[in-house]
Structure 1
Amino acid sequence: MPPLFRPLPRWPQASSTPGPRWRPLVPIGLAAIAAGLTLLLCTSKRPVDAGATLIPSTRSAPSRGLSALLRRHQAKPPTLTVPPPVIPQPLPPQQAWPAEAVVQAEPSFDDLNTSHWAWPLLADLAQRNLVSGFPDGTFRPGAAMTRAEFAAQLTHLFDFPPDRSLRPALVNYPDVKLDHWAYKSVQKTVSMGFLGGHPDGTFLPDQTVSRIQVIVALANGLTLKSSRAATEALAPYVDRDQVPIWAIRQLVAATDAGLVVNYPEINTLAPNRPASRAEVAAMLHRSLVYTGSLQTVPSPYIVEKARVDQVGPP
């Protein structure tokens, strides 16, 4: 009778030496790995609905599945760069809010117009509230100016510290009492070094100021200096012999600084003639140009050093 069960056939052996037992399982394992990779790739693809609308994106689609897992471990995290804080710096006042010159409309004086020889200089001062006329609407350009009026005009235009001069802070003039309308102006003008009293101790506030006194006062207050010889600097003035000895040094310095204004003849100084209001205002304008407070306004009556050198002695 044949047996109920037949013995299983044995695998052919390459050699008589028995091999490892796991070798027959290698093909099965490789097949299982291939099937797993195929399943993983198929499940990583996301189906798109037929009725869905695709919207273009600026970013690339995120990778999924095994590739995303590999990239996540291989890619280096981006470096976070934080910019330094920006602290706003305030601008200097002259750049943030530039100061505008106080310029009004063209001044209107009943006795002064564009035909006057000093109109360009006077108009520039009046437009900036540096000079003013009388309550009746006149300027009176030809009227003589007193020493008290000159002191008031100087204190209105200049504000130098008292230590610029070696003079005392207060000087008691018997003719300028505390209740005088120009008391403060006289005291400040003296302390700044522009004006001074007479040898007898008086100030003479109602005395008219001469042209050479105006020139000397401006040269002293602005501390003007010049190294030129008086014979050379004063040679163009036809009336140079009328200049007082005590005023020669200041006249030379004022001439070189361009402060002197001569009308109607530029070579005629007329040093001892009373200075008119227009002449005083014109030389005050030149003083402000010298200090850099105003721009130069052309005038044919300004005695400039270059122009005087060209004219030469008579």
Structure 2
Amino acid sequence: MPWLFRPLLRQPQPSSTPRKRWQPLVPAGLLTLAVGLILLAWSSERPVDAEATLIPATQPTPARGVKQLFRRPLPPPPLTVPPPVLPQPLPPQQAWPDLPLVQTQPRFSDLSADHWAWPQLADLARRDLVSGFPDGTFRPGATVTRAELAAQLARLFDLPPDRQNMPLTTYPDLGPDHWAYASVQKSIGMGFLSGHPEGKFLPDQTVTRIQVIVALASGLGLKSSRGAATVLAPYSDRNQVPPWAVGSLVAATDAGLVVNYPHINTLAPSQLASRAEVATMLHRALVYTGRLRQVASPYVVAPSPHPLELNPHP
């Protein structure tokens, strides 16, 4: 029979299908995958090492392991701008004594009720917080030395409890036998005054108005986040303020400590401070701390209004 018409002969089939080479590896692969998933799950539950990773308390704990692969990214938190920090009246210290009236009417031969600083000076004198000279004068126009300012600060303010054990500061020009030694040490411990860069205190050096303002702002710990351009705008001579004093002046102005006589818009930062000017600014500091009631004066620089206060209704 021609080969074209020969029936196709069925090839003999093997009794069973031969196993492929990779089939024996399936159980081992499944076992490896299971072990890997167990390790990933275990690592995702481990606590974060606080010593090795710093995570802000305001942020959630980041996902780990498998959770990190399938977790949708969270949108960034909105940017918030904190409100400006304005000086707030300090609570009266428990260590400070009360300020009672000691005398009904102060008696200074060179002061009368028509003096521009009389309301503040009279209030201080009636409480025995300022005193005159042995001849009965107050000398309101006289200048003030650093030692005299330290004596007045030590008289009006008391050491806070956390600074009572501070070590004494030594200066070559201020020995223990100086009449203002204890007052200088106390005022330095409270943070009002400090020595000069060359290591001296210069107790007989007269103080300027800006130095008095900076001393009060430093001792009271005044801070303000408001811009200098806004706060110092009322001062016509603001360009004369030294850069190292701008921050303290801004805070002192916001706290209502600055007193300008005779022109309220003229700061005169480099002018020597008079006894009347120092006394009135010290009175304002006592009002700020809550120890005295406010006494009206047309020469106290009122803090400029907050920008948000100009338009309270959006």
TM-score normalised by the chain length of structure 2: 0.64
Tell whether the 8 Å contact from 1:107 to 1:123 is kept in structure 2 after alignment: yes
For 1:237 and 1:275, locate their aligned partners in 2 and report how far apart those are by CA, in whole Å. 17
Kindly provide the CA deviation profile for residues 241-273 of structure 1, in whole angstroms up to 9, marking residues without a partner as x.
110110000000000000000000000000011
Instruction: Give, in angstroms, the shift of residue 168 of structure 1.
Output: 5.2
Bigger CA drift: 139-148 or 103-112? 103-112
For 2:248 and 2:190, locate their aligned partners in 1 and report how far apart those are by CA, in whole Å. 16
Residue-pair matches, total: 210
Aligned to 1:59: none
Aligned to 1:206: 204
| Structure ID, larger Rg | 1
1:289 to 263, 287, 290: 287
Kindly provide the CA deviation profile for residues 210-268 of structure 1, in whole angstroms up to 9, marking residues without a partner as x.
10000000000000011110111111101011101100000000000000000000000
For 1:171 and 1:162, locate their aligned partners in 2 and report how far apart those are by CA, in whole Å. 18
State the secondary structure of the residue aligned to 1:202: coil
Instruction: Give, in angstroms, the shift of residue 305 of structure 1.
Output: 0.6
Tell whether the 8 Å contact from 2:99 to 2:291 is kept in structure 1 after alignment: no
Query: Could you say if the C-alpha distance between residues 138 and 214 of structure 1 is closer, same or farther in structure 2, counting changes exceeding 3 Å?
Result: same
Tell whether the 8 Å contact from 1:109 to 1:139 is kept in structure 2 after alignment: yes
For 2:108 and 2:264, locate their aligned partners in 1 and report how far apart those are by CA, in whole Å. 26
Unaligned runs of 5+ in 2: 1-97, 308-314
Unaligned runs of 5+ in 1: 1-98, 310-314
Q: CA RMSD in A?
A: 1.9
Aligned to 1:105: 104
Query: Could you say if the C-alpha distance between residues 100 and 142 of structure 1 is closer, same or farther in structure 2, counting changes exceeding 3 Å?
Result: closer
Query: Could you say if the C-alpha distance between residues 274 and 294 of structure 1 is closer, same or farther in structure 2, counting changes exceeding 3 Å?
Result: same
Kindly provide the CA deviation profile for residues 110-134 of structure 1, in whole angstroms up to 9, marking residues without a partner as x.
1000010000000000000000000
Pairing 1:14-29 to 2, within 5 Å after superposition: none
Pairing 1:86-105 to 2, within 5 Å after superposition: 101-105=100-104
Tell whether the 8 Å contact from 2:224 to 2:254 is kept in structure 1 after alignment: yes
2:177 to 165, 168, 179: 179
Larger proportion of helix: 1
For 2:267 and 2:243, locate their aligned partners in 1 and report how far apart those are by CA, in whole Å. 15
Letter in 1 for 2:132: G
Aligned to 2:143: 144
For 2:249 and 2:99, locate their aligned partners in 1 and report how far apart those are by CA, in whole Å. 34
Q: Which has the higher contact order (CA 8 A, sep 6+)?
A: 2
State the secondary structure of the residue aligned to 1:282: helix
1:266 to 264, 286, 306: 264
Kindly provide the CA deviation profile for residues 91-143 of structure 1, in whole angstroms up to 9, marking residues without a partner as x.
xxxxxxxx782241210101000010000000000000000000000000000
Tell whether the 8 Å contact from 2:159 to 2:186 is kept in structure 1 after alignment: no
Aligned to 2:275: 277
Aligned to 2:156: 157
Tell whether the 8 Å contact from 1:169 to 1:187 is kept in structure 2 after alignment: no
For 1:239 and 1:197, locate their aligned partners in 2 and report how far apart those are by CA, in whole Å. 27
Q: What percentage of aligned pairs have identical amino acids?
A: 69
